[in-house]
Amino acid sequence: MRFLTSARVQLLLLIALLPLLSLALAPYATIAVLSIPGVVTLAAAWVISHFVAVRPLDALKSAARRLAGGDFTARAALGAVPRELWDLAQTFNLMAQSLELREAERLRSEEGARRQAAVNARLLEETDRRLKDAQALHAIDTAISSGLDLRVALNILLEQVTNRLQVDAAGVLLLNRHAQTLEFASGRGLNTEGRERPSVKVGEGPAGRAALERRVLRVDDLSGAEQEALGSEDFVLYYACPLVVKGEVKGVLEIFHRSALDPSKEWWDFLDALAVQGAVAIDNAFLFSDLDRSNMELALAYNATLEGWARALDLRDKEIEGHSQRVAARTVDLARAVGMGDEELVQVRRGALLHDIGKIAIPDAILLKPGPLTAEEWLVVLRHPIHAYELLYPIAFLRPALDIPYCHHEKWDGSGYPRGLKGEQIPLAARVFAVIDVWDALGSERPYREAWKEEKIREYIRSQAGEHFDPKVVEKYLEMP
């Protein structure tokens, strides 16, 4: 680029100003006609001023307006101009370039922020979904671990299925292993009552095939027999998901929707998780049920065994036949009256049935002797509570019932046997039984005496309060009908 010196610029500016001065002094001049050289001079001055100063300044102002309007690509292109104008244009262009770079960086930052915001929103949505899924599975876990009734656990499962999978309805069919049918157990969002749902044979219908093939079946146009079984539900979409745990089919989870559905991978993953939890819930419920039934059967067997032992003891001594059964029932009533709890009452009854179990160690010659016993024979008889302890203590199941067989001959004043316990040293169950044992013995007929009347028995027991019997137990006994 070619530059003009400052002196030349000053000369040119002076020449450019001459026409302006002539025009300003024209009203006062007496010159009528300008000479031809003057006109040429004025024209030359105008041309030089226009191209050297006015046009470059106009170009610079135009670029400045574009820059102010937000066009950061604006540049001042002046061509051959005085150095001062060229330096000014260069400074302007550098400033515009810097602004352009900053604007580009700002746009990139904003775009990045928008993208990051979108990513954060997706992450937040995904985290919230996973949290709710985890909470749903936790709710089912809680129902399983707390041992709730199967129907309650299934209701919790179906609530999570409809809410988290966003479907209109769901139901559970349980497998009847003996009949090989699927039977309705629970539903949510269904207008049809369970009793109106017919059972489904394994291998028939979508649910039956899902159980047989152990895979999820989808029906996009629910019609025919399946729709008839549901009544006026107007479902369109149907899924049958087998509930499998430990390699065994426990039932089928049914899902119903009244419009088309395009499940995502997350939807399928959560359905699988719910199906597993549902199968575990059913399996645990069956296990609890089987265990409860086994415990009940075992308890009945134990009780029947104890009653058999008691009858065997009674049959050995014809004089006391039925004694063990009578005192067991009456002892439980009195024990309840003195405030013993249900669990304690179970042990009270067992102990009452077995209170004379130690007598099996007494020879018949002594136990059934018709006449008076010798001192040595009495020592043998007095050991029967110890024999009861030795017999029952090794049996952990019967150890809590030992109080009565071991201590029922102890007396409140300490004069009893085998250990001479006194007052509240004697277990409460034994103190209760002692009263009932005497009541039944006095009320039963013996070869050597007649049975006492009830009033006489009550009077005797009242008189023995504080000596043989616990006074508080006697008080409760006297209140009994």
Q: What is the CATH number of the domain that holds 360?
A: 1.10.3210.10
> What's the rounded Cα separation, in Å, for the pair 169 and 254?
8
- Residue 311 is predicted with a pLDDT of 83
- Residue 112 is predicted with a pLDDT of 77
Q: Which residues of 273-283 are buried (b: 16+ CB within 10 A; e: fewer)?
A: bbbebbbbbbb
Do 322 and 358 share a domain, yes or no? yes
Cβ–Cβ under 8 Å, residues 358 and 337:
no
The strands making up 181-188's β-sheet, listed across from edge to edge, are 200-201, 181-188, 169-176, 248-257, 237-245, 217-219
Do 230 and 353 share a domain, yes or no? no
Let me know if residue 297 belongs to a domain.
Answer: no
Residues 6 or more apart whose Cβ sits within 8 Å of residue 206: 217, 219, 226, 238, 240
Mean pLDDT of 50-78: 70
Do 63 and 74 share a domain, yes or no? yes
Do 130 and 178 share a domain, yes or no? no
Provide the CATH number for the domain around residue 212.
Answer: 3.30.450.40
Let me know if residue 445 belongs to a domain.
Answer: yes
Question: 24-33, 392-401, 410-419: which range is least confident on average?
Answer: 24-33
Cβ–Cβ under 8 Å, residues 316 and 367:
yes
Do 220 and 335 share a domain, yes or no? no
Do 87 and 170 share a domain, yes or no? no
Do 321 and 277 share a domain, yes or no? no
Question: 37-41, 82-86, 104-108, 342-346: which range is least confident on average?
Answer: 37-41
How many structural domains compose the chain?
3
Backbone angles phi, psi at 167, to 5 degrees: -120, 165
Domain stops at, among 146, 177, 201: 146
Cis previous bond, 481, omega within 30: no
The first and second tokens of residue 278, run together, are 């549902």
- Check whether 4 has a pLDDT greater than 50: no
Do 390 and 440 share a domain, yes or no? yes
8-60 pLDDT, tens digit each: 444 444 444 444 444 444 444 444 344 555 555 555 555 555 555 567 767 76
Let me know if residue 307 belongs to a domain.
Answer: no
Q: Which domain holds residue 123?
A: 1-146
Do 391 and 454 share a domain, yes or no? yes
Helical pair 83-145 and 6-25, crossing angle rounded to 10 deg: 110
Question: 14-28, 66-80, 109-123, 354-368: which range is least confident on average?
Answer: 14-28
Let me know if residue 1 belongs to a domain.
Answer: yes
229-262 pLDDT, tens digit each: 555 567 888 999 999 998 899 999 999 998 888 8
- Residue 22 is predicted with a pLDDT of 46
- Residue 224 is predicted with a pLDDT of 57
The first and second tokens of residue 67, run together, are 């820059």
Do 134 and 8 share a domain, yes or no? yes
Do 243 and 104 share a domain, yes or no? no
Let me know if residue 427 belongs to a domain.
Answer: yes
In whole angstroms, how far apart are CA 244 and each of 186, 202, 277?
Answer: 17, 14, 10
Mean pLDDT of 172-182: 93
